[in-house]
């Protein structure tokens, strides 16, 4: 990979990536999106079915939850750089459906250079890892969310990181009361992130 000089160039180079097998079955690669100098970067796990079809991150049901939570936290989505640790959709076919399949450590490692290239271009003040896979990519090590959630951690490039849940976690909670509480906690994490970049 040539070190891209812009996010546009990076998105172009991503199209040709064959560093892991995930490009084979996905519809297309899903680059990050947002301002080139965003103070806040949000990193998810990988594109889902809707993102794979649209070619854009966080446009499916988890993306709608994220949009609501960002609004509740007072964060404008268009001021945030949104990306994923892994840029192609990994799934298992079930009839006509494609079920999300978590990327493995090797795939996260293979895709990490794209994330690093995004960081060099955007240089965010704070990076929010959404879920354990994103935390592995952002922190460079495996962590449980409960061990690091809510902390502001230093990154080797001078930036900072914090870890929270992936919004898709909220979609899997059956109990309405629990879901409401978990969403409140998620919004509180995002609000803390907004306060950090404002301070
Ligand atoms: S998932 Fe990442 S490393 Fe694998 S082919 Fe896609 S862009 Fe390349």
The domain that holds 104 is classified in CATH as 3.40.470.10
**C-beta of residue 165 within 8 angstroms of C-beta of residue 131:** yes
Residue 45 lies in a domain: yes
Does residue 180 belong to any structural domain of this protein? yes
Q: Determine, yes or no, domain membership for 1.
A: no
Give residue for tokens 């460079």. 140
Residue 2 has pLDDT above 80, yes or no: no
Read off the pLDDT of residues 150-194 as tens digits, 9 standing for 90 and up: 999 999 999 999 999 999 999 999 999 999 999 999 999 999 999
Within a domain: residue 2? Answer: no
Question: For a substitution probing ligand 1, which of 28, 57, 86 has the most ligand atoms within 8 Å of its CB?
Answer: 86
116 pLDDT higher than 80: yes
- 104 located within any domain: yes
CA distance 194 to 186: 13
Strand partners, 126: 40, 160
117 lines ligand 1 (CB under 6 A): no
Mean pLDDT for the chain overall: 96
Domain tally, the chain? 1
The model's pTM is 0.96
The whole-number pLDDT of residue 3 equals 86
Domain of residue 36, residue span: 7-198
Within a domain: 162: yes
């Amino acid at each position: 990979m040539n070190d891209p000089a812009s996010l546009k160039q990076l998105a172009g180079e991503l199209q040709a990536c064959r560093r892991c097998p995930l490009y084979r079955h996905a519809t297309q690669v899903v680059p990050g999106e947002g301002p080139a100098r965003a103070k806040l970067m949000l990193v998810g796990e990988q594109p889902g079915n809707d993102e794979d079809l649209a070619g854009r991150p966080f446009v499916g049901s988890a993306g709608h939850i994220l949009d609501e939570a960002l609004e509740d936290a007072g964060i404008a989505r268009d001021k945030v750089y949104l990306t994923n640790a892994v840029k192609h959709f990994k799934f298992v076919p079930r009839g006509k459906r494609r079920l999300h399949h978590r990327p493995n450590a090797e795939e996260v490692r293979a895709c990490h250079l794209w994330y690093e290239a995004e960081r060099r271009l955007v240089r965010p003040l704070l990076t929010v890892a959404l879920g354990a896979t994103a935390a592995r990519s952002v922190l460079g090590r495996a962590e449980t969310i409960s061990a690091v959630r809510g902390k502001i951690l230093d990154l080797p490039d001078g930036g900072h990181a914090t870890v929270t849940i992936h919004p898709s976690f909220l979609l899997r909670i059956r109990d309405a009361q629990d879901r409401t509480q978990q969403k409140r906690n998620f919004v509180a994490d995002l609000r803390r992130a907004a306060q950090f970049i404002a301070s």
